[in-house]
Amino acid sequence: MSPEPLKLDVRTVNFSREVITFCKAEKVTLVSRPLINQLVRSATSIGANYAEANNAASRVDFRSKIFIAKKETAETEYWLTLLSDVTNDKDTCNKLTQECHYLLMTFQKIINTLNKGKTAKV
């Protein structure tokens, strides 16, 4: 039997932790410093926006927060792609990029589902 998939809130927190751990282990250079700073900001924002979405005041508020989480995920994927060119730990960077892509597709699926519900009510 395969293990139960992690809930999205747990997955986003774990992803943030893994990114922070990866960045702490990176040798900071003049080139990598701004990339690492941006990566940490965007990666930790994913889970924060998802947590806000789960406490949204309305369906519109939920959709807005999910969309922001998706945008932060896309930005994180961008920074990981750039950092992969200068990191010594390409394996971890690739693993993080794969998880980031999974999160991006998950948020897109949520948005698609919300959009289907919106058109069905028209």
Model confidence at 32, pLDDT cuts 50, 70, 90, reads confident
DSSP designation for 5: P
Long-range contacts at 40-45 (CB < 8 A, ≥ 24 apart): 42/72, 42/73, 42/75, 42/76, 42/79, 43/15, 43/16, 43/19, 43/72, 43/76, 43/79, 43/100, 44/16, 44/19, 44/20, 45/69, 45/72
Domain boundaries, the chain: 8-120
Q: Is the per-residue pLDDT at 34 higher than 80?
A: yes
What are 110's two structure tokens? 């949520």
Model confidence at 3, pLDDT cuts 50, 70, 90, reads low
DSSP designation for 57: S
What are 101's two structure tokens? 């892509």
Structurally, what CATH architecture does the domain formed by 8-120 represent?
Up-down Bundle (1.20)
The confidence score (pLDDT) of residue 29 equals 87
Give the mean pLDDT of 60-69.
Answer: 96
Q: Is the per-residue pLDDT at 121 higher than 60?
A: no
pLDDT digits (tens, 9 = 90+) for 83-97: 999 998 999 999 999
Model confidence at 5, pLDDT cuts 50, 70, 90, reads low
What are 46's two structure tokens? 């994913």
pTM confidence score = 0.89
Model confidence at 122, pLDDT cuts 50, 70, 90, reads very low
The confidence score (pLDDT) of residue 94 equals 96
Cβ contact 47:9 at 8 Å? yes
